[in-house]
């Protein structure tokens, strides 16, 4: 079973790459961002709470995200595995995810860490043009990533299961880099 977590700052292309990997390797794609956007657009109770938080540029609380991920994994584990996109974003979430993996007897999980500089990320996100993608909000989210999410990579580096990927370039070039690295690590 191939189980991956795709990781990186806002705008690096995690969702795009996760979809390509999911489609081509037959993995279940668990995108917490998509789940939240759907809940917001449908106006669910969770969506209403999340909208206020997302509009500020803040992260959705750990307990909500952990519950979403656990339920999704319980309901969607297949023989091929999964790619988790948009989670974990904090050390607490990473520790909770480790407990979920142990409970579900999932091991050998690899972290794909897409990297790019902030100027490129700002440019990409402004072009993307979502309602919540203003320059100030993007800079705020990049600061949150640097302060609270980037330390999660250090947490995973201690386990030696992080695969670093250059996130600059076009979609196909980045995807080719990912496949080569996965192949080099005996993952595909």
Query: pLDDT tens digits, residue range 107-155?
Result: 888 999 999 999 999 999 998 878 878 999 999 999 989 898 889 998 9
Q: How far apart are CA 27 and CA 50, in angstroms?
A: 27
Cα 186–chain centre separation: 22
Instruction: Please check whether residue 113 is in contact with residue 153, taking contact to mean a CB–CB distance below 8 angstroms.
Output: yes
Model confidence at 18, pLDDT cuts 50, 70, 90, reads: very high
Q: How far apart are CA 117 and CA 130, in angstroms?
A: 20
Model confidence at 20, pLDDT cuts 50, 70, 90, reads: very high
State mean pLDDT over 52-66. Answer: 83
The number of beta carbons lying within 10 Å of the beta carbon of residue 25 is 16
State mean pLDDT over 170-186. Answer: 94
The pair of three-digit structure tokens given for residue 48, joined into one six-digit string? 């209403």
Instruction: Please check whether residue 173 is in contact with residue 160, taking contact to mean a CB–CB distance below 8 angstroms.
Output: no
Q: How far apart are CA 78 and CA 1, in angstroms?
A: 8
**Cα angle: 15, vertex 174, 87; to 5 degrees:** 30
What is the reported pLDDT for 155?
A: 92
Model confidence at 1, pLDDT cuts 50, 70, 90, reads: low
What is the reported pLDDT for 9?
A: 92
Sign of the dihedral through C-alpha 57, 136, 6, 102:
negative
Q: How far apart are CA 102 and CA 96, in angstroms?
A: 10
Instruction: Please check whether residue 84 is in contact with residue 69, taking contact to mean a CB–CB distance below 8 angstroms.
Output: yes
State mean pLDDT over 47-53. Answer: 85
DSSP β-bridge partners for residue 165: 114
User: What is the homologous superfamily of the domain 2-178 according to CATH?
Assistant: P-loop containing nucleotide triphosphate hydrolases (3.40.50.300)
DSSP β-bridge partners for residue 115: 166
What is the reported pLDDT for 60?
A: 81
């Amino acid at each position: 079973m191939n189980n991956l977590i795709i990781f990186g700052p806002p705008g690096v292309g995690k969702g795009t790459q996760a979809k390509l990997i999911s489609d081509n390797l037959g993995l279940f794609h668990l995108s917490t961002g998509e789940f939240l956007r759907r809940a917001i657009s449908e106006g669910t109770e969770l969506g209403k709470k999340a909208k206020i938080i997302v509009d500020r540029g803040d992260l959705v609380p750990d307990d909500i995200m952990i519950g979403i991920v656990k339920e999704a994994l319980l309901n969607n584990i297949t023989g091929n595995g999964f790619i988790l996109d948009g989670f974990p974003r904090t050390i607490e979430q990473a520790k909770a995810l480790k407990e979920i993996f142990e409970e579900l007897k999932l091991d050998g999980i690899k972290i794909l860490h897409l990297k790019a500089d902030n100027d490129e990320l700002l440019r990409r996100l402004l072009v993307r043009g979502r309602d919540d993608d203003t320059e100030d909000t993007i800079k705020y989210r990049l600061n949150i990533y640097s302060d609270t999410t980037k330390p999660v990579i250090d947490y995973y580096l201690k386990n030696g299961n992080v695969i670093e990927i250059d996130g600059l370039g076009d979609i196909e070039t980045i995807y080719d880099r990912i496949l080569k690295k996965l192949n080099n690590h005996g993952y595909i």
